[in-house]
């Protein structure tokens, strides 16, 4: 399964290169391979390209979205951010690295849910956050 088979996101806003595992409605793991060709590296920061923390959190949210959308009950829904709590950035991520993404879904209902995500490189934590989301109809997001 490819990320684009599950998520509605597309380039340039798809931040998951590969789905490693999915337990529908419970958890998912994925990878984001950073080549250095991503356009944000040119401006963040010239001479010292660094992955923006907000994009790390977004990549975690996308992996969480894969866990939710892989559950047949939510296939026609769209998870949208409802909040981000306790986000911590512990390591810079640079071009050429692969960000390993793990999300465990906590509470999950027909209208909303929560999860905890961790992004790491080589076992070293880069980012952790609690994610809150609401579920809307895919056609109602406009």
The contacts of residue 93 (CB under 8 Å, 6+ apart) are 34, 50, 51, 56, 99, 119, 121, 126
Q: Sorting pLDDT into bands at 50, 70 and 90, what band is 39?
A: very high
Mean pLDDT on 26-38: 97
What pLDDT does residue 142 have?
46
| Cα–Cα distance measured from residue 88 to residue 32, given in angstroms and rounded to the nearest whole number | 19
Q: Does the annotation count 44 as an active-site position?
A: yes
Q: Sorting pLDDT into bands at 50, 70 and 90, what band is 140?
A: low
Mean pLDDT on 6-15: 95
| Cα–Cα distance measured from residue 85 to residue 40, given in angstroms and rounded to the nearest whole number | 24
Domains of the chain (ranges; CATH) run 3-141 (3.10.129.10)
**pTM for the whole structure:** 0.96
Preceding omega of 11 cis (within 30 degrees of 0): no
Instruction: Given the residues 9, 44, 116, 120, select the one marked as catalytic.
Output: 44
Reference 131, options 44, 74, 66, 50; nearest CA is 66
| Cα–Cα distance measured from residue 3 to residue 40, given in angstroms and rounded to the nearest whole number | 21
């Amino acid at each position: 399964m490819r990320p684009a088979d599950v998520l509605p996101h597309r380039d340039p806003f798809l931040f998951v290169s590969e789905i490693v595992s999915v337990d529908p409605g419970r958890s998912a793991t994925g990878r984001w391979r950073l080549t250095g060709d991503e356009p944000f590296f040119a401006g963040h920061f010239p001479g010292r390209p660094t992955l923006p923390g907000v994009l790390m959190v977004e990549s975690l949210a996308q992996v969480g979205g894969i866990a939710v959308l892989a559950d047949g009950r939510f296939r026609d829904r769209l998870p949208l951010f409802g909040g981000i709590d306790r986000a911590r950035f512990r390591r810079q991520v640079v071009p050429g690295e692969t960000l390993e993404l793990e999300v465990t879904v906590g509470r999950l209902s027909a209208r909303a849910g929560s999860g905890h995500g961790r992004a790491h490189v080589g076992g070293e934590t880069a980012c952790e956050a609690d994610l809150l989301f609401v579920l809307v109809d895919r056609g109602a997001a406009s």
